[in-house]
Structure 1
Amino acid sequence: MESIELDALDLRLLDALQRDASQTNQQLAADAHISPPTCLRRVQRLRKAGFIERQIALLSPDRLAPVLGHGLQAVVEISLDRQGAEALDAFEARVVSDDAVQQCYRVSPGPDFVLIVAARDMPGYLALAQRLFSADANVRNVKAFFSLKRAKFEPKVPLA
């Protein structure tokens, strides 16, 4: 990845894209007050430099609930017995490869990891806990907090 300096235009483009990445290049260019070719070049440059990791669709859990069920979301704190770099890296690699783990943070002080996980139901969470936590001899403590309501979910990075 190339290293580039970000200017005010780059930040405007990044902000607009993280609000709505589905807009056309023409819409994005008009919002940023630049020509479509300039806009396209800038966005490609930002993508190549790694500022834009990927574009995804954010799904509505409430709209999917009648079809899939409400599911469970949990915030899980994990403490390990051994905190050496190798043990931390091994645990992290194992949990991030699991589709049920939506977010993984290595934190300090307190627990070693905080995970945001999703499961279809309580038996699904139990299977996840067995797979990721109980089967790992290095996991000392697991503390799960189950979400009753999602008040806010905003993956946007503050750029101002």
Structure 2
Amino acid sequence: MAKPDAGKDGSTELDAVDWAILGILQNDATIPNKDIAARVGVAPSTCLQRVRRLRATGVVSSVRAHVDPSRLGRPEQAFIAVQVRPHSREAAEDFVARVGRMPETMAVYNVSGVQDYLVHVAVRDSTHLQSLIIDRLLVLPQVAHCHTQLIFGAPVTTPLRRLPDT
């Protein structure tokens, strides 16, 4: 069995079996080990060792349940692009901590460009979104500007796949 090794850039090198296991886990992390092993053509013990190694090396960083916000009364989602001022580590960390505690927040991304952060939120409706922005985001001392984009429909996600050899 090939052991994942660190690549030139510090990334973990995986073989075809590791990638096949990752593909399965990314689609459904609840599949029993014996079923994964059968699908990728290795013994269950080998599969378990590989899954454990993928976790130990940080390739698989967590296993979570995907929650559908619309089933919980929050059918509207948006990305709120935020400019933070002043540009300081303290201001940024405080902003992320405050926004991360808001129950509407699903994710916070630090990005490059004109905006500093993208905040992914799930809300009941446009009135809730407006209140979130005006009454809770724009009052934060670090927020200089917000730009909102509504998300239409569910995101189209795909598992991370092996890059072609170059």
CA distance in 1, matches of 2:42, 2:57: 21
Which of 101, 108, 114 is matched with 1:110 structurally?
Answer: 114
Q: Is the 8 A contact 1:15 1:159 kept in 2?
A: no
* 1:118 match: secondary structure: strand
- Say whether 1:19 aligns with 2:23: no
CA distance in 1, matches of 2:67, 2:143: 32
**Cα distance per residue 1:9-42 (max 9 Å; x no partner):** 2222112210221211111001111100111111
Q: Output the amino acid matched with 1:77.
A: A
Pairs aligned (count): 152
Q: Output the amino acid matched with 1:138.
A: Q
CA distance in 1, matches of 2:49, 2:13: 14
- Say whether 1:6 aligns with 2:10: no
Question: Identity rate of aligned residues, in percent?
Answer: 28
- The structural deviation recorded for 1:61 is 5.6
Counterpart residue number, 2:93: 89
TM-score by length of 1: 0.80
Q: CA RMSD in A?
A: 2.4
Q: Is the 8 A contact 1:76 1:115 kept in 2?
A: yes
- The structural deviation recorded for 1:78 is 0.4
**Cα distance per residue 1:122-153 (max 9 Å; x no partner):** 3432443323x133122111111223x22633
Structure 1, unpaired ranges of 5+: none
Which of 78, 81, 94 is matched with 1:77 structurally?
Answer: 81
- Say whether 1:35 aligns with 2:43: yes
Structure with the larger helix share: 1
TM-score by length of 2: 0.77
